[in-house]
Amino acid sequence: MTKDIEIKMARDDNGEQFYTRAHVDGLDGFEEYYADTLELRNSLSDFQANHIQDSGWMDYEVGTGYKNILYSSDGFKCGVRQIQYLYGNPVTGIKNVTQKMIRLNIRNFLNGNQIAQIPTGFTQYTQVFYSRSGSGKQPIMVEVRPSGAVNVYIDSKDQTGSEFSNWIYAQFEWTE
């Protein structure tokens, strides 16, 4: 059911049109509009509470010697996060899609190092990403394993550099 709103222009003593001002509480029909808006807002909040589960960012520790200090004043620490979206219904079955994220803020590593151990099973399948690292260097491969091992692999051209020049500051995301 749609309600039509009729707009009439007021005229002053000289016949000139002008816009009147009114408080929203003085307008007919706004009570229903606010009630509908409130009901919609509550429905969306209820949907989110029951269908979206967010772990928030959970810090993880990097291995000994790997600094977690790049952009320390305004950047992020190493962390993982997952957001699970539930859909379906109890009759046909509840299904889910999960968005997973990892943040890396590390320095001082060598080729093949396991730089961190995140919770086992955080990823169902091995995930591989490439990250920029320093000026003039090839991207560094980051491998996240279902065992929770986070490993880094440096291009053969860049393996002779110092550990300090090897760094990653990046966030990666995937869906399972």
102 neighbors 144 (Cβ within 8 angstroms): yes
Query: How many CB atoms within 10 Å of residue 102?
Result: 24
AA letter at 110: L
pLDDT digits (tens, 9 = 90+) for 24-48: 666 666 666 666 666 666 666 666 6
The residue type at 21: R
Which of 20-24, 84-88, 123-127 is the least confident region? 20-24
Output the pLDDT for position 173. Answer: 97
pLDDT tens, position by position, 117-154: 999 999 999 999 999 877 678 899 999 999 999 999 99
Among residues of the chain, what percentage have pLDDT more than 90? 36
DSSP state of 43: H
Q: What is the CA radius of gyration of the chain?
A: 28
pLDDT at 1 over 60: no
